[in-house]
Structure 1
């Protein structure tokens, strides 16, 4: 793994997180939390894919099938975050706002970011300049 690759991935993720958060905060009052989060997640995922496809892994270009796999990887990451929050909140009984923040946005975000980096690198943008087999 190259340092430039990791830094590019983290930069694209930071922009995506900002887009996700801003859109969620903008839409939540009008749409409610779940529809707002669904739309903000889609926008954040799209921003992260474009940042990686046009920046970090720019030699590979933008492809719709890659975006679909990238979206799946990001859904898996979101599931990891939700699982960390669920285990902490419901399984361990740690129900304070601080505990929810640490488990979902701390531990969950770290584990999800590791999964997303691995998935982006190996399933979406295959290492060594090769495309993943299903991307054509």
Structure 2
């Protein structure tokens, strides 16, 4: 069962992730080009990335819970959300680390360089990490699917 679900899960994960990516990149650019620009706030691009990441994590949890892993939603939704958040933060640290490395150590400070490091390289590395961790830990075999309990409302 798990092997035959891999391709559909990857496609659905990609759709949810694509929407989250657009949200993340859009909010990152909105913030880093306005109120959290490097000229207005020291460390502004990093703060912008952290804020956009938090919003995208919340949206991705809802999307993955109701689409990608809907057959394995857990009745203990709060624990699921916390585990999902922890995995997401781990993956997001890869994107933020790539941005920090590029912007502050390599001094590649243009908006294009910030986007490539955070939103191409970082998100690609983070997405691979997240998919594996979601599939095998958060929604893995030890998770009791929501179908097993009728009172899971979220």
TM-score bracket relative to the smaller structure: 0.7 to 0.9
Q: Tell me how large the CA RMSD over aligned residues is.
A: 2.9
Query: Number of paired residues?
Result: 127
Q: Which has the larger radius of gyration?
A: 2
- TM-score, normalised via structure 1 length: 0.74
| Counterpart residue number, 2:135 | 121
In structure 2, stretches of 5+ residues that fail to align are 37-46, 145-154
Counterpart check, 1:90 vs 2:104 = yes
Counterpart check, 1:59 vs 2:71 = yes
With 16-25 and 93-102 compared, the bigger mean Cα shift is at: 16-25
Q: 1:21 to 1:73 in 2, by over 3 A?
A: same
**Greater RCO (CA < 8 Å, at least 6 residues apart):** 2
Q: 1:89 to 1:41 in 2, by over 3 A?
A: closer
Deviation at 1:91, TM superposition (A): 2.1
Q: Distance in 1 between the 2:28 and 2:108 partners?
A: 26
Name the structure with the higher helix share.
1
Q: 1:3 to 1:106 in 2, by over 3 A?
A: same
- TM-score, normalised via structure 2 length: 0.66
In structure 1, stretches of 5+ residues that fail to align are none
